[in-house]
Amino acid sequence: MESSTSLCLRIITGTVWFGLAIASVVIGAIYKDNCPIQPRIPIFLMVTGGTHLAFVLFFFLRCFLEICSIVLEGMIGIFSFVWFIIGSVWVFGVYSQYKGPDQCDEILYYFAFAFLIFEYVIIGLGLIVPCCTCSLRTFWYERLD
């Protein structure tokens, strides 16, 4: 049985990712023809939003179908990682050429840009926090001995 803190954190995380996924799909769909400099950016946002929605769904289904959910989450995770790299190339690749809304709608481009930066920060924290926690735990236990 999960602790109430873990369950609360899971609900908050799922809600944030759900909101970002919906926003990605909506912004990608609204501005799908408004980015001549890189027409794949709206597609990137719509697919990213769809995969995040699927991931959030399986995240909550894990309570009921644990094995099946873990396998599907893994497959979606691999696809999302590859798609994240492709999207980074598309969005950051035109950054130096981007001169304003006549080349790509500002809302679309800056949302995609900020979304990718947010994901880079989350990935970075996901790598750094466990290392710091482990280092602090080791330091703390060595001081107790």
Q: Is the model's pTM score more than 0.85?
A: no
Say if residue 92's pLDDT is above 60: yes
Tell me the pLDDT band of 145, cut-offs 50, 70 and 90: low
Q: How far apart are the first and last CA of the chain?
A: 33
pLDDT at 19: 92
Chain-wide mean pLDDT for the chain?
A: 85
- For 36-40, 62-66, 125-129, which range has the lowest pLDDT when averaged over its residues? 62-66
Q: For residue 84, what are the contacts with CB-CB under 8 A and spacing of at least 6?
A: 48, 116, 119
Tell me the pLDDT band of 1, cut-offs 50, 70 and 90: very low
pLDDT average, residue stretch 106-130: 91
Say if residue 14's pLDDT is above 90: no
Nearest alpha carbon to residue 89 among 105, 113, 114? 113
pLDDT average, residue stretch 22-34: 94
Structure tokens at 76: 């979606």
pLDDT at 129: 81
